[in-house]
Structure 1
Amino acid sequence: MAKTLYWLSDDEWAAIQPHLPTGRRGARRVDDRRVISGILHMLRTGARWRDCPSEYGPYTTIYNRFNRWSKQGVWEDVFYVLSGSSGVVGTTSADSTSIKAHRSASGGKGGSLRRRSDDHAADGRPRFMP
């Protein structure tokens, strides 16, 4: 394989290799360095997993490894080794995107419980009993 295929240098790879899970039962595991390079390529480009170049291996392997290691917390260890930070941010923010709600989303069946009768609404002035 071409040297430009790998996104991590030899020093970076040597640093993160001890933090990767080992001893998994099942089929023989493909090259971790190639798969991690494929994951980094996909995250960097923002493309669909299905569009992963075949040089990194099957896209299902790339996605499954990313997903499984995300659930196991492996990426936090890798980020910490490479950057000195876990990559987990303590604060979050939401964008100001608005979502269109259905017209009956504000209440239960029948809408609001308090309704003015037609007579009172037509009169326009409230009536009180002393």
Structure 2
Amino acid sequence: MRQKRYEMSDEQWEQIKDLFPKTKTGCPPKDKRLMFNAILWLARSGSALRDLLECFGSWKTVYSRFCKWRDDDTPFNIFHALNAEADYENLSIDSTSVKAHQHSAGAKNGL
């Protein structure tokens, strides 16, 4: 299956799928992965909520799921779970120096 832009891969989803709260009652909920991909799409594209693509469903459903997850700290739990097992593969420590012109050091003008 080809991964779409802004969506999670199967490997990424496997890492976090168990961190979402279980559904208690009511109608069968929309797929958690679809809702999470919709939230990621909004965050990464910078698009307005009402401009959500139709493939993700109603923007109201995505918004209500986001609020529900926000209220029960699901994003916070995902962050901490992923942070605990960080591999530091792409860690970069940079020491950059910027040389400034002599006039930026406060030298007097023309004297």
- Amino acid aligned to 1:48: A
- Contiguous gaps of at least 5 residues in structure 2: 86-111
Partner of 1:38: 38
C-alpha distance in 2 between matches for 1:29 and 1:77: 21
How far does residue 52 in structure 1 lie from its aligned partner after superposition? 0.4
Name whichever of 61-70 and 2-11 sits farther off. 2-11
Structure with the greater relative contact order (CA < 8 A, sep ≥ 6): 1 or 2? 2
- SS of equivalent residue, structure 1 residue 47: coil
Sort the Cα spacing of 1:57 and 1:83 in 2 relative to 1 into closer, same or farther, 3 A. farther
1:93-104 matches, cutoff 5 A: none
Would you say 1:75 and 2:75 are equivalent positions? yes
CA RMSD in angstroms, aligned pairs only: 2.2
Would you say 1:53 and 2:53 are equivalent positions? yes
- Contiguous gaps of at least 5 residues in structure 1: 86-130
User: Identity over the aligned pairs, expressed in percent?
Assistant: 28
How far does residue 81 in structure 1 lie from its aligned partner after superposition? 2.7
Aligned length: 85
TM-score (norm. length: structure 1): 0.58
Contact kept? 1:5, 1:37, Cα under 8 Å? no
Q: Which runs of 4+ in 1 moved over 4 A?
A: none
How far does residue 2 in structure 1 lie from its aligned partner after superposition? 6.4
Sort the Cα spacing of 1:2 and 1:65 in 2 relative to 1 into closer, same or farther, 3 A. farther
- SS of equivalent residue, structure 2 residue 4: helix
Instruction: Provide, for residues 69-127 of structure 1, a one-character-per-residue CA deviation record: whole Å limited to 9, x for no partner.
Output: 11110111112233449xxxxxxxxxxxxxxxxxxxxxxxxxxxxxxxxxxxxxxxxxx
Contact kept? 1:6, 1:37, Cα under 8 Å? yes
TM-score (norm. length: structure 2): 0.67
